[in-house]
Structure formats: structure tokens, C-alpha cells
Amino acid sequence: MLEKGKIAVQKTKGGGYAAAIRFSNNKNMPLPPFYILRDAGLDGVECEVEREKGQIKRVLVAGQELPRRPEKGARAGDQGRRPPDRQQQAAGQPSLKNAGHPQTGHPQVKIGENEWLKVFLPCDTRRYLPASIDNFGLLLNKVARLDDREDEKGQGKGFKFFLSGKTPRSLLEADFAAIDFPGLARRQERALRGTGLNLLKIPAQPQWRFVIGLGQESVYETSLTLHPVYGFPFIPGSAVKGLVRNTIISQVFAGDEKQAVADTGFRALFGWSNYVTPAGSHKGLIHFFDAYPTKGPEIVPDIINPHYAPYYQDSSGRTPPGDYYNPVPVFFLAVEKTAMLFYLGIKPEANQVITAGALAGEDYLSTAGKWLRLALAEYGIGAKTAVGYGYFTSL
């Protein structure tokens, strides 16, 4: 049977902390010494206590038992005997099973001394959380951390993956060591060749950094496109197709899309839709596939630091872009030093030489590959290409 109580924490003369459980009948009992108590964060928090023969056996907060000290004789590598909090410390990840916030009861993640970030997760999810989450996509998007503190200007609240300050720190560690990227690449190629398509494989190395999906909806204000299963960054085939298509329109047809769609070779490459007569619509001959990393991606925190926020936000056009405005830093995630593997495909019987139009001269697959290499090198893919992001060199 669980009894309800409240934790009272006091600082000792030696600089440590001592705690007691205050029950509803005003009886107090000291917190058992096998529980870890590092600060006064639990002071005033409601709890549930299980007792056996009058002695406290377990103390639970928000349905989770408080972290225990290691048992005597436990080996350093014995994961089963270490308390959850220490397991997560050893894994390099913040603890997700800390006690709830004293006022709201929301689960929290502690990042350093006296810095608390809230994590909003269902109780049953928290109960079955592993010691650490190694899927970066889940860690970033499903275990989002809320910082509800405000500075003197009333700013600073929001979900964060990065803490600014004198020494900026990332709250997340992207570890893809468990993913066999060479094996994944072999499986992808085997699956694509199993479709019977003629394939063109183009490995490419970023010249600096790239970011895909920066403007997608996200609680962080900025986003990054991540694989829905593995959690690593990738480049969707739709983005690759859009890049090649727009590059050809710009380079060959002077930016005139109507002129491009009127060209037979262009229409065959990318397909087109006749919104008046559906019978005149058809899909493109070239298949553009998702581009995956060839090794564990290196994800780095980056920053957008606009200095003229009032100027950009004034739709009336009356606010000048003055240098006296305060910069408003916006953090985002980018990928660097990570080669990507691009695939194009076409049915063998369809890969004919283009004989008419502005793209005449080569077969469809070779033409698409040539323009993809040029687009990656000269136009870039993803966000912020105007300042150097998204440019690739074919390997």
C-alpha cells in the first residue's frame, strides 16, 4: 500500500543535503540513505511511499522511484545494478527519469547545476524509457526540452536543443555508432537494383555544411529533416528532383517554366500536368531517390543572428535597418563533413537518347546525372545556399 507524503530537503552544515518524508499525519521519517540526493530540487515535492515493517522501502515521485546509489560490490560495467540516473550519465545523455518540477509536477532534465528543463511525456512512456535514447530523431523531436525561464527582457522561453551563454552547449549528442552505414548503402543499392531500373550512383561530399528542412514546422522554430526510422539526416528525393528541375529551367530556359514545359525532353525527364485535360498528363521518366549518408553524420549546432529584426517585421516599411538594433540569435542544426550517396533511376526501355528540344544529345539518365552534378556544385541544395550552405563536390 502506498502512502502519500511530501519531501522536505535541508542543506547540512557540511554542504550536503538531507531529506525527510512528511506524511499526512505530520509524522516525519528520514529519506533512506540509499537514495541519491544532490541538491534541494525535491524540496516540497509530493511523493508516494511504500513501507515494510515500518521502514521505508521505496519512494516514488510522479510514478518513478528516486535514483538509488549503486549496490556495494557492483562492478563499474554492471549496467543492471546501476540506478537509472547513473546509467544515463554514463551514456552521455541527460537523465529523463528525474523527479517532477516542484510546482508543476512535469518531468525534468537537469543540465548542470540549477538549470532545469521540462520534458513533456506521458507517464506510461516515462515508466518504460530506456537508460538512454540512441535514436537522434526521437531524442530531438519526441523528447523536446522546454526552458521556461525568462531574462530581464521577457525573452528566452521555449523548447531548446542548445543553451547559449559564455560557453554555448549542445543539449543533445548525435551518436550514430550503432548504425551500419556501409551495410545500409549496400541494402539500398540491392533494393533499387531489384526494381529492374538502370541506376546512376553519384557520391558527393559537401564543401562545407548543408541543412535540409530548416523551415519545416518544429517546436524549436528551426528544423532538420531526419529519417523517420533511423533518425539520421538525409536528403529527400523530392528535394533532389526539385533542385535539378529548377537548375535546368534557370540555365537552359532563362527561368521561364512555361517554355521549359513546352520542351519535349524536359517534359519526359520530369513529367508534367495538364490541368485542363488529364489525358495530357504523365509522370517523368527519371526516378529521384533519397540520398543517405555514407557514414555517421556529423551534426553541428549553428546560428542565424539577424541584426535588423524590427526592420524585417515592419510590414509598413517605415522602420529603417539600423545598426543600433540588438541581434536576435536563432539556433539551428546543420550537417558537415558527411558524404551523401545520390541515386537516379530509369526503366531500361525508356532510356533513349533525347533527339529533340534544348536537352537533345544524350540519353535521359546521363542528362539527369550531368545536371544533378552541376546543380549540387553551382546552385546548392537545401537552405541558406546564398551564404555557402548546401554545395557539394561529386566524388
Residues 76-102 pLDDT 10s? 444 333 344 433 433 344 444 444 444
Asked, for residue 387, whether it belongs to a domain, the answer is: yes
Q: What is the DSSP letter of 106?
A: -
240 near 288, Cβ under 8 Å?
Answer: yes
What pLDDT is attached to residue 15? 75
The grid cell for 32 is 533512506
**Coil/strand/helix, residue 242:** helix
Cα angle for residues 205, 211, 217 (degrees, 5° grid): 155
Of 294, 267, 305, give the one whose Cα is nearest residue 283.
Answer: 267
- Domain membership flag for residue 107: yes
Task: Give the count of alpha carbons within 13 A of 286, CB side only.
Answer: 29
**Residue type at 3?**
E
Number of domains in the chain: 3
Task: Tell me the residue range of the domain where 368 lies.
Answer: 181-394
**Same-domain check for residues 143 and 241:** no
- With 0-12 / 13-18 / 19 or more C-beta atoms within 10 angstroms meaning exposed / middle / buried, residue 191 is exposed
Q: Is residue 8 helix, strand or coil?
A: strand
Question: Is residue 79 assigned to a domain?
Answer: no
Cα separation values, 30 from 17, 25, 34, 35, 46, Å: 12, 15, 11, 11, 15
Rounded-to-integer distance, Cα 224 and Cα 212, Å: 6
pLDDT in tens, the chain (395 residues): 788 999 998 888 777 788 999 988 888 899 988 888 888 888 888 889 998 888 899 998 877 888 888 765 544 444 333 344 433 433 344 444 444 444 444 455 544 443 457 777 787 777 777 767 889 999 899 888 887 766 555 556 788 887 666 555 677 888 899 999 999 999 999 999 999 999 999 999 999 999 999 999 898 889 999 999 999 999 999 999 999 999 999 999 999 999 999 999 999 999 987 755 556 678 899 999 999 999 999 999 888 888 888 888 888 888 998 888 888 788 899 999 999 999 999 999 999 999 999 999 999 999 999 999 999 999 999 999 999 999 999 98
Q: Are the C-beta atoms of residues 354 and 183 closer than 8 Å to each other?
A: no
Instruction: Give yes or no: residues 166 and 185 share one domain.
Output: no
* Per-residue pLDDT at 152: 53
- Look at residue 147 and tell me if it is in a domain: yes
Q: 206 and 277 share a domain?
A: yes
Indicate if 202 and 272 belong to the same structural domain: yes
What integer pLDDT is reported at residue 335 of this predicted model? 96
- Whether 248 maps to a domain, the answer reads yes
Shared domain for 113 and 232, answered yes or no, is: no
Do residues 326 and 351 both lie within one domain? yes
Residue 73 included in any domain: no
Q: Are residues 101 and 155 in the same domain?
A: yes
Q: How far apart are CA 96 and CA 118, in angstroms?
A: 10
Domain boundary among 135, 170, 205: 170
- For residues 56 and 186, membership in a common domain is answered with no
CB 298 within 8 A of CB 336: yes
Instruction: Specify whether 42 is located in the same domain as 112.
Output: no
Q: Are residues 95 and 12 in the same domain?
A: no
Domain contains 67: no
> What's the chain's length in residues?
395
| Same domain as 244, residue 115 | no
Would 378 be classed as within a structural domain? Answer: yes
Per the CB < 8 A criterion, the answer to whether 97 and 64 are in contact is yes
Write down which residue in 137, 170, 203 finishes a domain.
170
Question: What spatial distance separates the first Cα and last Cα of the chain, rounded to whole Å?
Answer: 66
Domain end (from 147, 170, 193): 170
Please indicate, yes or no, whether residues 273 and 386 belong to a single structural domain of this protein. Answer: yes
